[in-house]
Each structure stands twice: as C-alpha cells, then as structure tokens.
Chain A
Amino acid sequence: RKEVEQDPGPFNVPEGATVAFNCTYSNSASQSFFWYRQDCRKEPKLLMSVYSSGNEDGRFTAQLNRASQYISLLIRDSKLSDSATYLCVVNRYNFNKFYFGSGTKLNVKP
C-alpha cells in the first residue's frame, strides 16, 4: 500500500467554483502534513502546512483527520491562476523523509 494516496484528477472546474481534494496516508506515525502546489515544469512550492486539525489561509483551507488518516484541501472562489498540480506530502516525527502523493491536477476554466 502506498504511504500517501491522492486522486490524480484532473479536476476541471469553472472560475469561482469551490473544489476539494482529499489525500489519505497509511502510517499513523505521520506527524506533519503539507500541501504543495506545482506548476508545469516548475518546482513544488509550499502552499500550506497542516499541524493540528486544520488551518485557513485566504481562499484555502486545509483539514486533518488523524482518526481517519486523511488530509483535505478546499479551494474557494477558484481563479484561473489556481490551475496546477497539488501535491500532498507527509512526514514522520524527526525523520528526514517526506512521502509524496501522486498529485492532483486542477484545471480552472473561464
């Protein structure tokens, strides 16, 4: 079983829509959780860190459910510029190895 699993999409949504991605992780020792955004032919860029039950940053909300071992990312009022691949990344305490999901592709259409 993969450490981190994501729906690869693509998710095709109109501008202004709300879209949610889920990510599940298999190891209950996982401690830190992240969403990265990656544009085509660019490096992953940190979007949000998720350490407790969740956090919000503008139009983006990340939630963590430790009991069910999943993380979600909600994007409200989607913009064309939100089109990218969103990577779910998980890390265990004091262990320098990060586990990546396969990424979820989002296309926001006018």
Chain B
Amino acid sequence: DTEVTQTPKHLVMGMTNKKSLKCEQHMGHRAMYWYKQKAKKPPELMFVYSYEKLSINESVPSRFSPECPNSSLLNLHLHALQPEDSALYLCASSPGGTDRETQYFGPGTRLLVL
C-alpha cells in the first residue's frame, strides 16, 4: 500500500482565519514533505521532516507552521494567509535514509484564500 491521505480535500479561508492541513501515511516512512503547487508549475518544496525533526525549511513565511506529531502524521498550520497563498498543497512521504528514496504523494488540499 503506497497511500498518503490528506484532509481536507478543499479549504476556503479568510485572511484572518486559522486552519490546519493534515497528512497521514502508514507505510513506515520516516521522511515527510509539504509542497505548494500553483497552476501549470511543478511542486515547490516547503518543508521536510526527517525522523520527526524538521530538516529543511525552504524560507517559507512564518504564516505557515509545520508540525510532525509522530512518524505517521504531518500537519501544516495556517494563519493570516494572503490570497497569493491559494494553491494545491501536497504532502508526500519517502522511506528516509535509503539509497533509493522514492516519494509518494497524497491527493492534496486545494486551498483558496479570500
């Protein structure tokens, strides 16, 4: 089973709201990722967690706050977002620390900021 799940599928929020995106995998993977994808562009890396520790932050604004409560779960907390943050947010996971890392993506959360 190579399934990564994400909730919610769609989210509409105002610029003053606080919301969270959730991601879960049960493949025993130890690396988890958040990506942002705009239309007709490739996914853009935001954060990487490796063994539940934040290992990469691609200079993402602080209005995005990641959290990895355990090895299966990854959250992305959103606060005071801007309309330009509207995008598809993808979670992915990979085994972590192997010489043949393969990444699997969840279905994404489509976010609209009004």
Q: Residues of B with Cβ closer than 8 Å to A?
A: 2, 31, 33, 41-43, 45, 48, 50, 55-56, 88, 90, 94, 96-108, 110
Contacts and interface: CB of A to CB of B under 8 A. Distances in A.
A22 interface: no
Interface of A: 31-32, 34, 41-46, 49, 51, 87, 89, 91, 93-94, 96-98, 100-103
A94 B97 contact: yes
Given A31-B99, A100-B43, 12 more contacts: A32-B100, A32-B102, A34-B103, A46-B104, A93-B99, A94-B97, A94-B98, A94-B99, A96-B31, A96-B56, A98-B103, A101-B42
B109 to A, nearest CB: 10
A43 B56 contact: no
Contacts of A93: 99
Contacts of A98: 33, 45, 101, 103
Nearest to B30: A96
A102 B42 contact: yes
Contacts of B98: 94
Nearest to B105: A43
A89 B35 CA distance: 14
B101 A96 contact: yes
